[in-house]
Amino acid sequence: MNAIRPMAGGEVGRSVPRLESREKVTGRAEYVHNLVVPGLLHAKVFRSTIAHGRIRSIDIAAAESLKGVHAVFTGEMIRKLVAEPYYGPAFHDQPVLALDKVRHVGEPVAVVLASDPYIAAEAVQLITADYEELPAVFDEVEAMTSKAIVHDVLRPAGTFPDLKHLVGRRDTNIALDYQLRRGDVDAAFAAADHVYEHEFHTQQVMHTPLEPMVSLAEPGHECLTIHTASQSPSFVRIEIARLLGWAENQVRVKVPYLGGGFGAKLYIKLEALVACLALMTRRPVKLSLTMEEQFYTITKHASTFRIKSAVSRDGRVTGRRCEVFWNGGAYADIGPRVTQKSGFTAPGPYDIENVSIDSYALYTNRPPAGALRGFGIPQLVWAYESHTDLIARDLGIDPVEFRRRNILREGREQATGTAMRDAGIEAVLDKVAERMLWIEPFDRGTGTIRRGRGVAIGFKASIAPTTSVAIVNVSADGSSVLYMSTVDMGQGSDTAMAQIVAETLGLRTEHIKVVHPDTDVTPYDMATLGSRSTFHMGNAVKLAAEHARDQLKELAASLGLPEGNNYEPKELFKKKYGMQAGNVIGVGSYIPPYSSPEPGTGLSANVTPFWMIGGTGVEVEVDTETGHVRVTKLVNAADLGAPLNPAVVETQLSGGALMQLGFTMFENMDLDAGQVTNASLADYKIPGIHDMPSIIDNQIVEARQTTGPFGAKGVGESATFGVSPAIANAIHDAVGVRLTSLPLTPEAVLRAIRAAAKNPLEG
Amino acid sequence: MNAIRPMAGGEVGRSVPRLESREKVTGRAEYVHNLVVPGLLHAKVFRSTIAHGRIRSIDIAAAESLKGVHAVFTGEMIRKLVAEPYYGPAFHDQPVLALDKVRHVGEPVAVVLASDPYIAAEAVQLITADYEELPAVFDEVEAMTSKAIVHDVLRPAGTFPDLKHLVGRRDTNIALDYQLRRGDVDAAFAAADHVYEHEFHTQQVMHTPLEPMVSLAEPGHECLTIHTASQSPSFVRIEIARLLGWAENQVRVKVPYLGGGFGAKLYIKLEALVACLALMTRRPVKLSLTMEEQFYTITKHASTFRIKSAVSRDGRVTGRRCEVFWNGGAYADIGPRVTQKSGFTAPGPYDIENVSIDSYALYTNRPPAGALRGFGIPQLVWAYESHTDLIARDLGIDPVEFRRRNILREGREQATGTAMRDAGIEAVLDKVAERMLWIEPFDRGTGTIRRGRGVAIGFKASIAPTTSVAIVNVSADGSSVLYMSTVDMGQGSDTAMAQIVAETLGLRTEHIKVVHPDTDVTPYDMATLGSRSTFHMGNAVKLAAEHARDQLKELAASLGLPEGNNYEPKELFKKKYGMQAGNVIGVGSYIPPYSSPEPGTGLSANVTPFWMIGGTGVEVEVDTETGHVRVTKLVNAADLGAPLNPAVVETQLSGGALMQLGFTMFENMDLDAGQVTNASLADYKIPGIHDMPSIIDNQIVEARQTTGPFGAKGVGESATFGVSPAIANAIHDAVGVRLTSLPLTPEAVLRAIRAAAKNPLEG
């Protein structure tokens, strides 16, 4: 390692190799799966086999008497520890183990504990449950009016003021009815030259982190340590403390590296269960899910989007009505936030005077849905950019040109009324068009292989307002430690944040050590989600590093050293303390400005601290005999401000786009009466090497988030936005058929081609 | 647990039960001995059987070929990792494993690693070493002039400027020659009415922590984690980083609870060895010492003190010459600091115009000596308070009265020239006299059981200047976490520091959680030693808590709340963040004012941040037939400022006094050519329940350390000061004989009684 010596800067914006690379490739990086503690009990879960029903009885006697079984618990037994054992970020609706009712196939009903996980698994097979089956509802639109009611009473968590009106509601599956009204949509439709209306669907899919969910709880005296593969250590701490009626500092949550998260590992997943089990048995308890169990734990919202636009003959969209139905499954998780926070961008990145949005979070009897890379945005962009393409085609306007005419430009107000700032929507569109050689001649294929191309753009607000706090501790030799609760789940946050500290203190990134989330020592962070870390935690880290730097300057001044020089911390500390001793500790706390939406209209002057912009261009080859679609070229462009680490950012763009490629082309949870019939990676296909486009072209547009740390903002989701509609648009371009439901399987494409041959599409 | 609600204060000064009591009595408290990590190798040490010699060869072949042995290392092999593998706080004199020479019996020469510690122990038996024996020196006074030279060249660490003149010195065993000169001692002796001169000796003893030393190192990529039972995590981090040529933040040092320290677990003990072994094998390595091995690792200085006083006929001491010889053993450890920092108090807590002190740190071929509860003070008080008693007796003045005539009063200058502030020497003496019923008639016994009583007082400076840093993190519900590197080794520091935070923030102590030392997260602290924590860390913690409190006040003001009210943090955070979120982080850094002693005279206007004062009174019964002495009453009085936690303070007083009782009455390392012949708890007696005085009377004198946190200062050592001379003085009082060497065994007492019967003592 090089000497710890002040540098001239240049750490930010440089593709610094990831700090953890070596640890990961040598197998030394810490994961919860590898953690073993003395006296550990392994938990295995007995799950519901039906989608909706009242629990008549659970027979655990045979499981309890199996040799090697330590204990078996049901929901009623959890109640002895916690009278109201319900958790959730938006609603306190999810029981630690099922109570009274089961609401989806795969819901945890009982749990077996044994020192040997195989014995625990064997004992689970000996448990039986008797249910009184109830009518179930699976479709989000049906759920609006169904007599099958998933929750007898609604219990909003009290965290979000806009859920207050739902407290105690009965006979409804609507977990949030979000509205936005801007201008006069009816008048716009009445005055329109053209009106277009379409309906689009997305399917239920899974996050599929390569590291399945795992949590381990160790009981102490009036305290508890939870080691968990979580994206939200601070939330876990606060929610488990609430559940137990404890103070925050009685719960310690530690998170090492994650093998992917994508939103699956947010809020409470296994933590409440292992916490209760550890407290009841006074033993450490570990629960690791299989890949199959993850399908029943958290998923991405299936959705229905009805979109209707008023368009003038010169190609300006003058009004738009959006109705979005989010299939939240049996427990709300963060679905109501998806419904609202993403809901307000449903009209797309376009400058539309008159807008009406209704966005509904719905309970159904499917496995729960929550946040998944994009937080609802890919579902919305799928609809509005397919819709946009259909309008352009119908009007005979080039789709890029049509978008350009309607695009939201800097300073203009988005649907909520928030003015666009540092939002390079046009720059992204232009970059996609440029890299797609949009105005060049295009080879459209021959015979059974037809070629087409498509583009799409999308945007996303950041979740707001949220808080991040960071501590930077400068040692007496200048080497520094960063304490933060941002979780490095593969996105490279450790490195990016260390770069911010290094740049600010004039050190090398390799001299910054990052302490992983541990709620006893790393301060509060809302969570690692929604591409918020670079901006929020980045700002907090920068403030902390500046606070430390200012103290070092004051130290130099107090020692009578001339101003302006860049002193080695080592010299200063030695002068101050007479030896290598002491620390300088900088603290940074960041919460962006925010204004709440007005009740009724949903309007707000400041709804997000920054905008994420992503655009996609694709070229496809469609085999008209088989329906097989091959994406041959994929352009990902994004406005992510000024990149902190270009190499890491590029992997984020590729990763996001390829994940969405899987959701577009083949990933789909096949449900049969609520049962996932393909709940394994053998049957549920995720993208493999043969699915990669031959050309992947990642483009960072020149930009700067003026309020971001060193001009940066988030990027983890931006490349997911446009992938699905760009591909559907390209298929339309290639073979003249429009698909409105995901995924775009060969069967669906072939069926559409055959149907079109009989009934040619209009336009 | 009670609600987290502002309190009216009253947490400081209250006997709050220790935070860790429940964990300890239920066996859940963390100790390094209980730590197991995957792939662990156990280390066992092969040790020198001779006191001084050159290593000709070490034969490890048989050990290496024993089945189950992972590896065997010698000092030369360590050199492949570290070219200069020497460590130490004052001198870089101690090799990780012996190189070229061995300097004491029991010195580590080679080490065996195996997954099974019993195989490692068996393999150690198969190692042989061949030495060229060299003349050895064991006595500290002989070491001044001996031709047997322990270290060929002196290598001061460079940390202490007063050791600079020793760099590169050869042909000497003097590791520090400390001098202080005040007034004109020769003139005082010339003018004196009486001159008294005596020589006193103390023996080598051991700390005997009930938890033997243990360290475990885990290697990472360019980093290392050391779990160690250490009193000085920050020092271990910095010293291991220096040894390896690394940055501080590449070394992480974690310390859970300690089962006692008493100075044994300071600086580097096993850490350098396990660190090197872990890096060379790329495996975690643990080394736990047996009780026997501890006798060869670190001990308390044996000493010789020549003291000479000029006294006027009215009982005023006008001049004093002190010559102290400290037997440091084979490696300096912190001995030179003992020599200087305690050395300057050698004349005792008396107001003496003319003083000359020479204090010598000496290398010998004994096991090394370092800090042990009192840091040299008990050795000094033993001499000067025996001497004081002899003078009073000779002059026919009551010993309490004689002390009172000479005592250092508030504002007067101590030998160094530093004025006494907040030093209740007279109050302590008065309290001892009062509780001893000194002016009441006293039963002197009959027949073979003779009774006597004695008093002694002592004082100590705190080590200076040293730094402490603390962080207080207030959670959104008000519960708080304190990060500090003070080690709770049984003294109750976790509780006392939590009380300071609670008092400052208006919380209950039970709502404060203490994060144990972990150099990646708990900031720098010089070490847990010399009774410095309450004052230094206490001030840092108070500053940190005040910093947090001020930020909470600012937060309330920024939210437009009226001033003056005591808001619940929970309310403030909810108002600020709209939810239970965020943290307020307070930082405190404390270093007291200090002025370095002038070269030559050793004078300084500000040599210590505070003074510790302890006094002891004892009543004894001496069996004149057997020499057996029974201490029937023990009064411990101390000025410790205003106590933070009176109950904890009282246990410190009892504990300190009883530990010194063992060193006074029977503890003694019996050496035969440098070999400890009683290196086990079967043969080396520590105080047991039958040795307890019938009456133990702990007295906290009314006082206040104006510069301390809530008026407090350190107390861990104060009750050790006077025990030895008070007992010797009481024996003299009972049977008219004077013992000048410790321990005061029945054999020694009986021998003195018999000698006195032949040659009656003068006076």
Structure confidence at residue B160 (pLDDT): 79
Residue B591 at interface with chain A, using a CB cutoff of 8 Å:
yes
CA distance B696 to B504: 34
Which of A36, A520, A585 lies nearest to residue B587, judging by beta carbons?
A585
> How confident is residue A5, by pLDDT bands cut at 50, 70 and 90?
low
Q: Report whether pLDDT(A589) > 70.
A: yes
Residue A235 at interface with chain B, using a CB cutoff of 8 Å:
no
Strand A629-639 relative to strand A695-700: parallel, antiparallel, unpaired? parallel
- Residue A459 shares a structural domain with residue A553: no
Mean pLDDT confidence for A492-496: 97
List chain A residues with CB under 8 Å of B518. 521
Residue A581 at interface with chain B, using a CB cutoff of 8 Å:
yes
Peptide bond into A743 cis (omega under 30): yes
Residue B8 at interface with chain A, using a CB cutoff of 8 Å:
no
- CB contacts < 8 A (A, B): 151
Asked if the structure places residue A275 within a domain, the reply is: yes
Hey, are the CB atoms on B471 and A471 less than 8 Å from each other? yes
Q: Report whether pLDDT(A760) > 80.
A: no
Residue B236 at interface with chain A, using a CB cutoff of 8 Å:
no
Residue A585 at interface with chain B, using a CB cutoff of 8 Å:
yes
* Residue A410, SS3 per DSSP: coil
Asked if the structure places residue A184 within a domain, the reply is: no
- Residue A542 shares a structural domain with residue A455: no
Asked if the structure places residue A389 within a domain, the reply is: yes
Taking alpha carbons only, the member of B66, B32, B23, B67 closest to residue B217 is: B32
CA distance B454 to B730: 4
Residue A471 at interface with chain B, using a CB cutoff of 8 Å:
yes
Dihedral angle sign, alpha carbons of residues A701, A707, A713, A717: negative
Structure confidence at residue B440 (pLDDT): 96
B467-480 burial: b if 16+ Cβ within 10 Å, else e: bbbbbbbbbbbbbb
Q: Is A410 a catalytic residue?
A: no
Mean pLDDT confidence for A578-598: 92
Burial class of A687 by CB neighbour count within 10 A (0 to 12, 13 to 18, 19+): middle
Asked if the structure places residue A284 within a domain, the reply is: yes
List chain A residues with CB under 8 Å of B472. none
Residue A27 at interface with chain B, using a CB cutoff of 8 Å:
no
Do B700 and B638 contact (CB within 8 A), yes or no? yes
Hey, are the CB atoms on A247 and B520 less than 8 Å from each other? no
Residue B159 at interface with chain A, using a CB cutoff of 8 Å:
yes
Give bridge partners of residue A76 from the DSSP assignment. none
In the listed set A590, A623, A647, which residue is the last one of a domain according to the structure? A590
Q: How far is A159 from chain B (nearest CA, A)?
A: 6
Residue B668 at interface with chain A, using a CB cutoff of 8 Å:
no
Q: Choosing among A580, A584, A589, A591, which should be mutated to test the B contact, i.e. which has the most B CBs within 10 A? A: A580
Question: How far does CA B411 lie from the centroid of its chain?
Answer: 28
pLDDT in tens, A398-422: 999 999 999 999 999 999 999 999 9
The CATH number of the domain holding residue A496 is 3.30.365.10
- Residue A316 shares a structural domain with residue A442: yes
Q: Residue A68 belongs to what domain range?
A: 39-136+207-294
Taking alpha carbons only, the member of B664, B612, B679, B606 closest to residue B634 is: B664
* Residue A673, SS3 per DSSP: coil
Give bridge partners of residue A200 from the DSSP assignment. A305
List chain B residues with CB under 8 Å of A22. 221-222
Mean pLDDT confidence for A319-334: 98
List chain B residues with CB under 8 Å of A476. 238, 248, 524
List chain A residues with CB under 8 Å of B220. 23, 28
Which of A221, A479, A521 lies nearest to residue B22, judging by beta carbons?
A221
- Residue A456 shares a structural domain with residue A505: no
Structure confidence at residue A569 (pLDDT): 87
Q: Report whether pLDDT(A761) > 60.
A: no
| DSSP H helices in A245-311 | 271-281, 291-294
A34: nearest CA partner in chain B: B38
Q: Report whether pLDDT(A4) > 80.
A: no
Q: Which phi and psi (to 5°) does residue A183 adopt? A: 65, -150
Structure confidence at residue A763 (pLDDT): 41
> How confident is residue A6, by pLDDT bands cut at 50, 70 and 90?
low
Catalytic residue among A401, A717, A747, A762: A717
- Residue A287 shares a structural domain with residue A308: no
Q: What is this model's ipTM?
A: 0.93
pLDDT in tens, B432-461: 999 999 999 999 999 999 999 999 999 999
pLDDT in tens, A232-246: 999 999 999 999 999
- Residue A53 shares a structural domain with residue A84: yes
pLDDT in tens, A667-680: 999 999 999 999 99
- Considering the entire predicted model, what is its pTM? 0.95
10 Å Cβ neighbour count for B147?
7
Element (H, E) at B123: helix B117-124
User: How far is the CA of A666 from the CAs of A653, A687, A751, B78, in angstroms?
Assistant: 20, 8, 15, 58
Which of A159, A477, A521 lies nearest to residue B521, judging by beta carbons?
A521
Do A300 and A334 contact (CB within 8 A), yes or no? no
pLDDT in tens, A40-61: 999 999 999 999 999 999 999 9
Hey, are the CB atoms on A234 and B581 less than 8 Å from each other? yes
Do A399 and A729 contact (CB within 8 A), yes or no? yes
Hey, are the CB atoms on B238 and A1 less than 8 Å from each other? no
What rounded mean pLDDT belongs to chain A? Answer: 95
- Residue A235 shares a structural domain with residue A369: no
CA distance B591 to A581: 11
Hey, are the CB atoms on A524 and B222 less than 8 Å from each other? no
Give bridge partners of residue B156 from the DSSP assignment. B91
Which of B241, B248, B481 lies nearest to residue A520, judging by beta carbons?
B481
Taking alpha carbons only, the member of B689, B692, B583, B714 closest to residue B630 is: B692
In the listed set A294, A310, A339, which residue is the last one of a domain according to the structure? A294
CA distance B150 to B619: 43
- Residue A316 shares a structural domain with residue A441: yes
Asked if the structure places residue A72 within a domain, the reply is: yes
> How confident is residue A600, by pLDDT bands cut at 50, 70 and 90?
confident
The CATH number of the domain holding residue A83 is 3.90.1170.50
- Single-letter amino acid, residue A277: L
User: How far is the CA of B522 from the CAs of A276, B391, B498, in angstroms?
Assistant: 30, 51, 15
- Residue A688 shares a structural domain with residue A572: no
Structure confidence at residue B759 (pLDDT): 75
- Residue A106 shares a structural domain with residue A247: yes
- Residue A47 shares a structural domain with residue A25: no
Tokens representing B755 are: 């000698």
Least trusted range by pLDDT, from A102-116, A747-761, B451-465, B518-532? A747-761
Which of B248, B477, B521 lies nearest to residue A483, judging by beta carbons?
B521
Asked if the structure places residue A614 within a domain, the reply is: yes
List chain A residues with CB under 8 Å of B159. 579
Give bridge partners of residue A696 from the DSSP assignment. A634
B528-551 burial: b if 16+ Cβ within 10 Å, else e: bbbbbbbbbbbbbbbbbbbbbbeb
List the end-to-end C-alpha distance of chain A, in Å, as a whole number: 65
Which of B223, B467, B577 lies nearest to residue A467, judging by beta carbons?
B577
Residue ranges for chain B with pLDDT beneath 70? 1-8, 760-763
List chain B residues with CB under 8 Å of A498. none
In the listed set A263, A294, A325, which residue is the last one of a domain according to the structure? A294
Residue A17 at interface with chain B, using a CB cutoff of 8 Å:
no
Asked if the structure places residue A162 within a domain, the reply is: no
Asked if the structure places residue A87 within a domain, the reply is: yes
How many domains is chain A built from?
Answer: 3
10 Å Cβ neighbour count for A322?
27
CA distance A609 to A707: 8
B21: nearest CA partner in chain A: A221
- Residue A355 shares a structural domain with residue A407: yes
